[in-house]
Each structure stands twice: as structure tokens, then as C-alpha cells.
A and B are shown apart, each in its own frame.
Chain A
Amino acid sequence: MDLLTEIAILVLAAFVGFEVISKVPNTLHTPLMSGTNAIHGIVLVGALLVVSQASSTLSKVLLVVAVAFGTINVIGGFLVTDRMLSMFKRKPDPVKEEAPADEVES
């Protein structure tokens, strides 16, 4: 794949990104941010691609950390988004949550 093909893909992807988000209710800003956050967890693929190139110990350590970071980004991102969105679902009997309040309000 040559550079110009890659740039073509890049430009088209940018327009897809702009178009998809054009109209979003305020309510969904946070879940949407969290969802796009999970999608850039794709960096995990980038980390996996270079693991076999690592020869020195330092490179290996760097890439294990990169794989771990990418995994946290993917798993954490999708789970948190799902938890956030599950709050929008109807529940027959709301369960009361107990949590300490120890911060000031804004």
C-alpha cells in the first residue's frame, strides 16, 4: 500500500468521522466521548504488530507496557461506556445505591 493510498483512506475516514457525529443530543456527549475513546483502543493492534520486532529487553518491556495500555484502553473504554448507557435503560425496580459523599459540589 503506497503513501497516497493511505492518505486517501485517512481523508475519507476523517469525513466519515465528521458526518457520523454531526447531530448528537447533549445527553449523549459523554457516552459518545467514552465510546470513541474505546475505539482508539485500536492502538492495541499497533502494539501487537510490532511485538515480534522487539529484540532488546528495553524494547520488550516497552511493548508489553504498550500492549497492556492498549488492553486497558479497549476493555475499560467499552465497559465504562456500556455501564454509562445501561443507566438509560428502564428498570422495573430501581435499586438504591449507598455511597459516601466526601466531595464538594460544583
Chain B
Amino acid sequence: MTLATVWFRSPDFVNALYIVAFTLFIIGLRGLTGPNTAVRGNKIAAVGMVIAVVATLLLGERQVHGETLPAIISGWSDVWLIVLGLVIGTAIGIPSAIKVKMTAVPQMVALFNGVGGGAVALISWSEYRHALESGGNPELQILIPTLFAAIIGSVSFWGSNIAFGKLQEILPGRPIQLPGQQFINLALLIISVGCAVLIATGRESEGLFIGILVSAALLGNLVVLPIGGADMPVVISLLNAFTGLSAAAAGIALQNTVLIVAGMIVGASGTILTNLMAVAMNRSVPSIIAGGFGGGTIATGGGDDDTEGKSVRSTSAQDVAIQLAFARLVVIVPGYGMAVAQAQHAVKELTRVLEGKGVEVRFGIHPVAGRMPGHMNVLLAEADVPYDQLKEMDDINPEFPRTDVVLVIGANDVTNPAAKDSPESPIYGMPILEVSNAGAVVVLKRSMGAGFAGIDNPLFYDEKTSLLFGDAKESVGEITAEVQSL
């Protein structure tokens, strides 16, 4: 009896394991939607993944579309190829996931998403090569999903890389536009789909297939480049859904249930999540993508003229300490600046000291503060700020009129009144934290630079506002020391 006929290598047994795997994905995903079950949910999904991968490695000889395929591991050369891939992937994946700073997590998600899309594109390319080697184009029910997976996978890979580059600030966060962008993007889309149609209607050419991959790659680059940094979380979420869809398409081509189910669940849930994020920013997904196509609003310095030449009022840690210590209610509005300065523990300490003086402290968390929804909650939770002190935007906005001092720590766009007052602003319509309703506003900033979206903020020129320049962590530390000495 050869290994290929052993019961645990039969397709039926492996398919049964696949069912267990995707059940665990669904249970895990549901766990991820609740704060108390999330950690366990992630682990359950990871167990599902291990089962799916091990099951696949077991798979023996099988029939797919009437063709007898060899076992997954049918010789030492397969073992070497697989081990090589797994070792390289592990050697890159583990350190990058463990060493990444919490502030850099969004771009890491973009990168991990990109490689997933890249894998799909490569799988479909090698599948097509295999089909050509063994006699020509496969039947349409394999060919069409393969072509679809190639286009979407390639777009997702390159789009995610650009998103990574923007968030990592290798590329400028502000929108980059080419002349005739709309025309170029449309042309690339037509070339890519056109090549796919040529292949689907009978042409057998690897060149055309590479044409699909390359034009989709350029499209992925050019669509994400003009999108402003502030919209990037939505874009990453959308590309995440794309990768899921391409995985499902690859699953149809390969007749593999776990790929179809897992890919489609991600495709569907990713779409919903993208929409939830866009709604939180009062942006619509089509308008963000339209921005990528050269239409819609492009973030320029809307309102530049108004603020040019106006002066800001800078203050000292001592003054801020006095303002805070004698306030009844202080609302802290954290943003990306708190994240990069790793100031969350210092902020927690300041909160503790202020509460010791009888000051009520709340945190106003904008849904998209930082670079990702929930970014601030994660950091503040790390510093042990009680969950009930963190208020969402809709809960904290009515509180501002009775707030004595708002302390804005490295947040910019989410407090920008231009989103309410100036229709020509690129972020016009985005709900903001209405901090200017408070008695006084203190903004901790590194410098007078504009925010991530590249838009000037009239809040800084408001007469209620004073600015304390410097590293957020040091500034907060100084303020805390001053409060203690009062």
C-alpha cells in the first residue's frame, strides 16, 4: 500500500478537516467582534488555519476537473520547495510582527494584506503556465476565476505596497497626482480586462497573462497614490476585502472549499468593515476611490489663505498645569502624535495626578484618531486608562460646552473646524470633535506642520487656543511635574 492511499490522505478526510477549519474561522471571526472574546477568537481562527494547512499537506492523489493530480507532497523536490517557502515566510513574518511598534501596526496590516494578494497573483500565474504546458487554455470555469484572481490579486498587492509606503512615510502622505490620471487609470483597467477577455475567448499566450498582471499592478499603484493619507485606513480595508475575493476566486479555480469559504467571508466582512470605517469618517467609499481616479475632492491646503500670516499663541508647561489643575472637567483628545511619542503612559500619569486634585478627566476619542479606528483605545488600554473614561465622539461632543480645558495631544485633522465651516476643505463634512466649544484649548504639537491629511487647521489660530510645542511625551511629563508641584 502506498502512502497515497492511506485514509488520512484521501480527499474526503482532507475535506472534512477543511470543514472543521472554516467552522473555526467563523467562530473566531465572531469572537473578534466583541472586546471580551476577541483574543480567544483570534486564537481559534489561528487553530483553524493550522488545521487547513496541515490537511492540505496530507492531501494525496486526487481528481480535479477530470484530471488526476499528484499528491501535494509527491517527491523530495516538492518537500524542498514547500519547506523553503515556509522557512522564508516564517523568517520574515515572525520578526516583523513581533518587532513592529504599535504605532506602525496599520502599515504592517497593509503589508501582510499585500503579500496575500501577491500570493494569489503568483498562484494564478503558475496555474496558467501549468495549463499551457499541459495542452492549452483550461475550461472556462477554471480560466475565468483564474483571470479574475490575477487582476484583483495584482491590484491588491501593489495597492497595499503603496498604502504601506504612505503610512511608513517612505512616500509622501499627501495625494500625488499625474496629469491625465483618470485617462491613464481607465486605460490600464481596459488593457487589463481586455487581455483577460482575449485569453478567455481562446487566445493562448503567457505574454497576455503577464500583460494582465503588469497593467493591474500599475493600476494598483496609480489608484492608491492620489488618495490622501487620512483615507488610507479605508483603502487598506478595501484592499483587504479584495484579497479575500481573489482568494475565493482562486478557490473556485482550484476546487478547494476552504479557500472559497475563507476568502469569501473575508471579502464580505471586509466590505462591511470598509463601509463602517468610511461612515465613521463621513466619507463614502466611491468618493474615496474616485479620488484615486482623479475625480472627487483632492486634499490641498483648503483654507490656506485664511490662516496664512495669522499668529498662534504658544504657552508653557507651567501655564498649562495651572489651567488643568484648577479645572473641573478636562477632556483629553489624543491623536497620532501621542502614538508616535509613546506618550500614553505619561498621559495616564497626568490623569492620575489631576484626579488626585479633584479634576474630572475624560478622553474624547474620534473614530479615526490616529491612523486606524481604535488606534487610540488600544494605546490607552495599554496604559491602563479605564475603559469607561474613553468616550466616543457622539458622547463627548455634548460635554465640550461644560468642559474647562481640552488638552489635544498630537491630534489635528479630527479637531479641524474646517470640516464643519469650510465647504472647500477636503475634509468638509467629516464629523469632528468640537473642542472649540470648550472654555480653553491646549494643543500639544511637535511643530507647526499640517496634519496627516496635509490640511491647515484653523483651530490653532483660534483665540481660545494655546499651543505647547515639543515632544508629546516630554510635554506631558513636564505638565505632570508642574501639576504635582502646585
Contacts and interface: CB of A to CB of B under 8 A. Distances in A.
A10 B236 CA distance: 23
Interface string B90-124: 10111011101111011011011101101110110
Nearest to B27: A20
Most buried by A among B52, B264, B265, B341: B265
Contacts of A82: 39, 42-43
A72 B120 contact: no
Interface string B254-265: 111111111111
B72 interface: yes
B176 interface: no
B356 interface: no
What is the size category of the interface that chain B forms with chain A?
A: 35 or more
A22 B130 CA distance: 41
Contact of B256 (A7, A49, A52): A49
B294 interface: no
Given A40-B244, A81-B42, A45 B89 contact: no
Contacts, number: 431
Contacts of B243: 37, 40, 43
B277 interface: yes
- Tell me the dominant secondary structure on chain A's binding face: helix
Nearest to B45: A39
A86 B81 CA distance: 35
Most buried by B among A18, A43, A59, A106: A106
Interface string B1-42: 000000000000000000000000110111011110011011
B374 A26 contact: yes
B73 interface: yes
Nearest to B386: A90
Interface residues of A, number: 93
B237 interface: yes
A48 B72 contact: yes
Nearest to A73: B116
A10 B249 CA distance: 9
B469 to A, nearest CB: 11
A94 B380 CA distance: 11
Contact of A67 (B89, B109, B372): B89
Most buried by B among A3, A25, A34, A72: A72
Nearest to A38: B45
B251 A46 contact: yes
A42 B259 contact: yes
Nearest to B342: A99
Given A28-B374, A105-B451, A52 B74 contact: yes
Contacts of A103: 169, 336, 340
A64 B85 contact: yes
B129 interface: yes
A106 B42 contact: no
Contacts of A45: 52-53, 56, 256, 258-259
B190 interface: no
Interface in B209-252: 229-230, 233, 236-237, 240, 243-244, 247-248, 250-252
- Tell me the dominant secondary structure on chain B's binding face: helix
Contacts of B69: 52-53
A43 B89 contact: no
B115 A104 contact: no
Interface string B346-376: 0010000000000000000101001111110
A41 B263 CA distance: 9
B162 to A, nearest CB: 17
Contacts of A86: 39
Interface stretch (B284-292, B310-318, B406-414): B406-414
Interface string A5-25: 011011001111110111111
B272 A71 contact: no
B426 interface: no
A86 B98 CA distance: 13
Interface of B: 25-26, 28-30, 32-35, 38-39, 41-43, 45-46, 49, 52-53, 56-57, 59, 69-75, 78, 81-82, 84-86, 88-90, 92-94, 96-98, 100-103, 105-106, 108-109, 111-113, 115-116, 118-120, 122-123, 125-127, 129-130, 133, 141, 169, 229-230, 233, 236-237, 240, 243-244, 247-248, 250-252, 254-273, 276-277, 280, 335-338, 340-342, 345, 348, 365, 367, 370-375, 377-379, 381-384, 392, 410-413, 445-447, 449, 451-453, 471-473
25 contacts: A6-B255, A14-B265, A16-B268, A21-B273, A24-B276, A28-B35, A29-B277, A31-B42, A34-B105, A39-B25, A39-B265, A40-B262, A43-B120, A43-B243, A46-B256, A52-B78, A65-B85, A70-B89, A73-B113, A80-B100, A84-B105, A87-B378, A94-B382, A105-B411, A106-B337
Given A48-B53, A82-B43, 8 more contacts: A40-B116, A43-B116, A68-B85, A68-B86, A70-B115, A74-B53, A99-B103, A106-B411
